Amino acid sequence: MILVVTEKNDAAQQIARLLSESGKPKADKVYNTPIYRFRKGGEDWVTIGLRGHIMQPDFPPELKFDPQEGWYGLTAEGEHLPADVPDGLARPPFATKRKPFLADGVDIKGWKIPSLPYLVWAPIEKLPAEKEIIRSLKNLAKKADSVIIGTDFDREGELIGSDALKQILSVAPDVNVSRARYSAFTKAEIDHAFDNLVALDQDLADAGESRQHIDLIWGAVLTRYLTCVRFGGLGNTRSAGRVQTPTLALVVERERERMAFVPEDYWVLSGEATHADSDPFRITHATARFTDHDAAEKAYGHVRDAKTATVRAVTRKSRRVNPPVPFNTTSMQAAAAAEGISPARAMRLAESLYMDGLISYPRVDNTVYPSSLDLRECVRTLSSVPQFAPTCKALLGQGTLHATRGKQETTDHPPIYPTGAANPDNLQPAEWKLYNLIARRFLATLMGPATIEGTKVELDVAGEPFVATGNVLAVPGFRAIYPYGLKKDDQLPELNEGDVCDVTSMALDAKQTEPPARYSQGKLIQEMEKRGLGTKSTRASIIQRLYDVKYLKNDPAEPSKLGMAIIDALTSYAPRITTPEMTAELEGDMTKVAEGVDTQAQVVDHSRALLAGMMDGLIDHKDDLSEAIADAVTADAKIGVCPKCGRDLVVKTSAKTRGSFAGCMGWPDCDVTYPLPKGRIEPIEGEAGVCPECGAPRVKVHPFRNRPYETCINPACPTNREPDIVVGECAACKAAGRHGDLVAHKSEKSGKRFIRCTNYDECGTSYPLPQRGELHATGETCPECGAPIVEVVTQRGPWRICVNMDCPSREKKAAASTRGARGVRGAAGRSKAAGRSGAAGRSGASTSRRKKA
DNA sequence: GCAAGGTC
């Protein structure tokens, strides 16, 4: 039997299909791993797909995080191994004990602990990361006569193959081994690769392993340093790494530019005009921006009372806009980001669409469709989606299909294109949104250019030159199916030289120049690619990580004070980690290892020595850094000033409930606390951040998937008071022969809104209420349960609800909302109702979504 | 409960 090992299941399946004589390999499983069996040349063949790396490098167990003791490191002050002598590489003599050792024996809580500088020189082990796969692989290897390593044709692929091979040789030391190198899943390419087998390139694999070790050492040492420098490793992880830190530095650098930016004043002189009852159009002075105030005022003086504008010249120019090129991972992530889907989320959604057979493999650099891809067939497939049917029909009516080509051409996978017709009812809204984008992009790459008709009209207003511009999509071309990022038409009326227009308004506006914009997540992805940071598969998750450790916030990306402090600290004492140069130099070193000029040990030890040299500065200045980080964390948590004592009010986490609240930094001297509304809290700078009524902070609240609003955080503040509303009569009291009113109150302590009976002590009737929106009594009672029905007016419009949580009408509503949530109006109120009413509605929906998987 | 790189 001949065993073929590939990097992923997808590749195992494709290779089996292309190599098998029947063209129909048999899908099977070893343990839980899919494999593909087929016959070729009178032999039995089996292909198995790994899941990327099956081994994971790590430090020995005694140097890892300990759940009781945390991470150590800085406690061993000043303990350095010499930077140039990697003696510490030998496993130290403490190996027999669970707890690690320090040369000079520093005791902490009775344990001897290692110094952080020691970690720089610590040995690295390789541990199984995919035990199931390894078990399956070994099982097959025992039965194999020969093994062909068919992992991806790149450095990481060679390493993945080398790791797999070691596992195979451990159970089948005498098996025949070779390597197939292919870069496209075409019959010709795969046949050629398997007819011309080569040997595995151990130097290339070693280069990959060097990369792993250097990333681990630098990442672990600096992360432990930053995490432990303040509270000995308790609390949040503060990470650093070869890719994430330079990425953070990009965002911080842009923020510093913004902070250093000095806005300049300028003035815009513009107004509106009409011609022969046309819609009004904007006219702007030919000097688009006056930087001289006097000149602006002078021009304004001439035209302020002008009633007419005379057309001096009309020029028309049409612009051709070419259709976009096919999607690769980066351009897809950027386009999705522009539609409000973060790159990390886009990859999760794409993975799911790929697994459902709706799009092609989502991790590609390629932007050129291979000639083997049947474009016409793809269009035919899409034509069964009603939204795309007219476009598909038009395309199929053409003689031949011409596709655009991007600059990057690789042959391992095709660009991202739709492989199946999706039904929006079977997808989550975000999945459909991404699929729709991918499908429309695909169709757009097959269509003609759009033509935009541009018109420039020069006018004379009381001797001052003015212009009006119009842009109209004259020939839609690809824009008919691909409206993303399309500007709205600004239409001018038909104007000719000599026409006299009526000026209806004129104004001089004072403006200021804007600082450079922050990076959107899409732009950040593109900037990373440009600077060689990360890969198509890692960039999205690395940006996500920066958000998770709270170095970044908001979108466009804004660094937190902590993020800025981290960059400051590392720029001072470990500058190498803060720039893309480390990646660039690493690439050079990797090439040397791959070429056999340097060994893995030489390159890694050299990198260790560079890091060791930086430990001096980091440890000497640990108190400064500790303070800077602590100040930054406090500044990030600050939401305002305590109205009682004037100290900072910060977001704190309750130890009991794990919920967050606002508390005074002066505690326990000052006991001011407030509950916090649900959602992300953004402080408001300056005077607007102090409530004029009660002096407590006003904040901007960003509720999950709802529009942000501003509020005073003091629930007892007059600005938060709501009048009590009688919403109905208490049914329980009526049944008991007395009268009780159901009244909607707002608690001054918690700020929560609820309904309570005026005879609460006797009947105990109370109902919760929606916390957001304006509340109205309807006077109606629920036909199902008799409880009052209230109306809530939110930004999305009014809706009505029975206040009884256990009412059967709520169950129905929940079921309806999970079905209808994919519509235009995915109302918060409905999804809330679905959430509260328990599993029925939700689990039903999730099974229907999963049924294909 | 450390990185970045694969992939699910």
Residue by residue, DSSP assigns A639-650 as: EEE-TTT-SEEE
CA–C1' gap, A116 and B7, in angstroms: 32
- The DSSP code sequence of A144-205 is -SEEEEE--SSHHHHHHHHHHHHHHHHH-TT-EEEE---SS-SHHHHHHHHHS-B---HHHH
Domains in chain A, please, with CATH? 2-55+128-200 (3.40.50.140), 60-123 (no CATH), 208-260+518-628 (1.10.460.10), 265-322+450-512 (2.70.20.10), 329-444 (1.10.290.10), 642-718 (no CATH), 810-853 (no CATH)
Q: What pLDDT band is residue A746 in, cutting at 50, 70 and 90? A: confident
- Residue A406: phi and psi, rounded to 5, are -90, 180
Question: Which residues in range 102-161 of chain A are in contact with strand B, contact meaning CB within 7 A of any of its atoms?
Answer: 129-130, 152, 154, 156, 160
Name the residue among A306, A265, A316 with its Cα closest to residue A285. A306
Structure confidence at residue A828 (pLDDT): 35
pLDDT given at position A317: 96
- pLDDT per residue over A428-467, tens digit each? 999 999 999 999 999 999 999 999 999 999 999 999 999 9
More confident residue, A546 or A613: A546
Cis preceding-peptide flag for A556 (omega within 30 of 0): yes
More confident residue, A298 or A76: A298
Distance in Å, residue A679 CA to nucleotide B8 C1': 31
- The answer to whether A183 CB sits below 7 Å from nucleic acid chain B is no
| Strand B contacted by A239 CB (< 7 A) | yes
For residue A38, what are its two tokens?
């087929």
Give the DSSP letter string of A513-557.
PPPPPPPPHHHHHHHHHHTT-S-TTTHHHHHHHHHHTTSEETTTT
Distance of C1' in B1 from CA in A231, Å: 15
3-state secondary structure of A359: strand
Give the residue with minimal CA–C1' separation from B4: A215
Q: Is the CB of A756 under 7 A from strand B?
A: no
CA of A579 to C1' of B5 (A): 19
Instruction: List C-alpha distances in Å: A248 to A220, A244, A347, A371, A479.
Output: 17, 6, 21, 40, 36
Is pLDDT above 90 for A788?
A: no
The whole-angstrom separation of Cα A741 and Cα A744 is 10
Question: Distance, angstroms, CA A352 to C1' B8?
Answer: 10
| A356 strand B contact, CB < 7 Å | no
pLDDT at A852 over 80: no
The more confidently predicted of residues A308 and A103 is A308
Structure tokens at A649: 């009010």
* pLDDT, tens only, A598-640: 999 999 999 999 998 888 888 888 889 989 998 999 999 999 9
- Is the Cβ atom of A579 within 7 Å of strand B at any atom? no
pLDDT at A669: 87
Question: Is the pLDDT confidence value at A79 over 80?
Answer: no
Residues of A labelled catalytic? 361
- Strand B near-CB residues (< 7 Å), A 44-73: 49, 51-54, 56-59, 63-65, 67, 70-71
pLDDT, position A231: 63
pLDDT at A812: 56
Judge whether residue A846 has pLDDT over 70.
no
In this predicted structure, which of A132-136, A354-358, A663-667, A823-827 has the lowest mean pLDDT? A823-827
Q: Which nucleotide is nearest to A586 (CA to C1')?
A: B4
Taking the C1' atom of B2, which residue's CA lies nearest?
A: A220
pLDDT bucket at A809, cuts 50 / 70 / 90 = confident
Would you say residue A472 has pLDDT above 70?
A: yes
Residue A559 CA, nucleotide B2 C1', distance (Å): 22
Nucleotide with C1' nearest the A235 CA: B1
> In whole numbers, what is the pLDDT of chain A averaged over residues?
86
Least confident of A59-68, A172-181, A259-268: A59-68
Chain A 514-543 contacts with nucleic strand B (CB below 7 A): 534-538, 541-542
A216 touches strand B (CB under 7 A): yes
Dig out the tokens for A155 from the structure: 């450095």
| Beta carbons within 8 Å of A407's beta carbon, 6+ residues apart | A325, A367
Does at least one atom of strand B sit less than 7 Å from the CB of A212? Answer: yes
Q: How far is it, in rounded angstroms, from Cα A322 to Cα A215?
A: 42
Longest dimension (CA), chain A: 97
pLDDT above 90 (res A285): yes
Nucleotide nearest to A413 (CA to C1'): B7
pLDDT at A73: 41
Q: Which positions in strand B are less than 7 Å from the protein's CB atoms? A: 1-8
The two structure tokens encoding residue A731: 């049914």
